[in-house]
Structure 1
């Protein structure tokens, strides 16, 4: 059911994109004075071109031709009178100094737009290296002082493909309050040591499809926050980074349920984590259900390639002795194979307050790097259903 929906939605958005491309009038930002010299601030030219496109009664395309454009911040604000496409062929560069974007929550913002299409093979360069050295959110827990590279907020029926985000100051892409959005063949890269540079973060959004992405970064390749429902992630190559994560959940009050997440046909290599679900101890009540990970290749994953962690407590910033109140149910890990640098290849650490329910492990083949290549499994507060051949042998239930 889920796969059929994704295929239909993707095909529909593809047809919409073709229609827009065929009918849309091109609006070149150079018409509004863009210099593309990598020195002059071209923000106003881009904003003016967008305003003309957004107020047009017929579909139109804003064209950012090849060249280097110094911009920031830029806001593509809707609603628009007709569908608008953005064709980025060149490179957009953010100011390198974080102070120049200090009052902004995002560098490039797409907001409240229906039927948006972004394509063209171009690059969004966050120039984040100076910002990484000033990032102290691991110590303070506050990361709002740095801008996200691409903020997608309140979009419906959007299709984003064939673009690159490089060297973001904080997250590369943040998808919030969106519906029916497809990201296809996007490339994301930043050094493994860059702090809090999540590739794609999703929150409070429905029917989000990520396919064919190449993500190398310093945090989660894809992270899924509260309120995310019907999320499909497939054919993603992740690494370096922290793997693909649901959560962390349960840190704040009034978080919305996470339901219907599928991660399939992905490769995760040279990362600190594989696929995981993580919730905070001492959390308010929450829900995470119908979470499925299948057909995944692991290569040299540092910490437990398969992980449920309901004791997630980075830097000791939590009441670790209090159980998580996030209810995790209907979870499956199927056909996951490869290598682990951690002797505990499968770890299901569920909450003693609300044990995990309906967890299935099927056809797992994970070997450990080292002399004997033998891995183990560890479980607490869960009794998983085991089918097929499982290596390492599945853990038995333990209650803490």
Structure 2
């Protein structure tokens, strides 16, 4: 492992109100605990004094680590509205917009959107009452009414689009992976820090209540010493299009990697990866093992060829927790109790992808960080983005995936997006059906 990354341990007390019901299984009693977070408790991460106290900046209170919020200063926290730009309009962006609708309307507003085709942007704008419509990313970046941009194009476009928005002093929430290599991620993160702008890789599972309850159980030693984390995620994806998403390890494997880091809170000592490449040299199957101190392990199995169990098991000496759909969990299962975490919206708001309303917690985390002047989130900080990119470089090298020539090497976002729009729509529709 090259370099060393400090991972901050995020301690959170459980604030959910629980109601308990019983039912019998095989003659025995089984408990279900419903954990329903109150709307005001969506703020998971708070900072004091306006200084950036995230893991990468502890003790650093210089102006470069703070955002001066301008017209926000005269407002109270409760009435400040975070103004979003969407780049580009996509099924994932539509789910993000839907997630914002379950939050108090004065806290978030989509004011601008961009799409390769104006008709797509107009349809999105009509659905969510968006004032500004663009067919150019640069025009959106120049929009003075935008505070933060949600970025979700094809994976290889993420990095350059992030640079564009940061260059125009926009905060950024970018879907994973934030960049396709560690060197590119490092340059991007350095730019955000230098410009005093908030940047977060959109690892939204970290923000949902189920993850915080899991962390709470581990820190209270309810499972004993954790020995193993096992994750599987497999969905049938068109292999000929995987190059556009960086392969299955980049697209699926990161969910298991981030869960292992969330559980162990340390840099792995060993990384082993085996798998299968298609004719284009893109990984379509990957089996990843991470070795941590004291002989603790995480195993991550991902596939773009077949559907797997899509579960995670966190095994400790005293017990275990199982998570179905661990990238968007609403239930944690132990030996004697099922913990439910219902999503906001009451089932009235639908999304293209499973449980994507959970992105509302991520949006609230972004708002909270920006309004408090932080350039990163403690829930998934810049050091973890660096570490994740480092791990992916190592995994790709072991799998034999060529990194010398990337699919996108020049700043051609507008043309590239036009060519990829239909591919993205087909792929998203296929995955939505699978999920």
- TM-score, shorter chain, exceeding 0.5: no
| TM-score in terms of structure 1 length | 0.24
Task: Name the structure where helix makes up a greater proportion of residues.
Answer: 2
Task: Name the structure where strand makes up a greater proportion of residues.
Answer: 1
Query: RCO greater where, 1 or 2, for CA within 8 Å and sep 6 or more?
Result: 2
| TM-score in terms of structure 2 length | 0.23
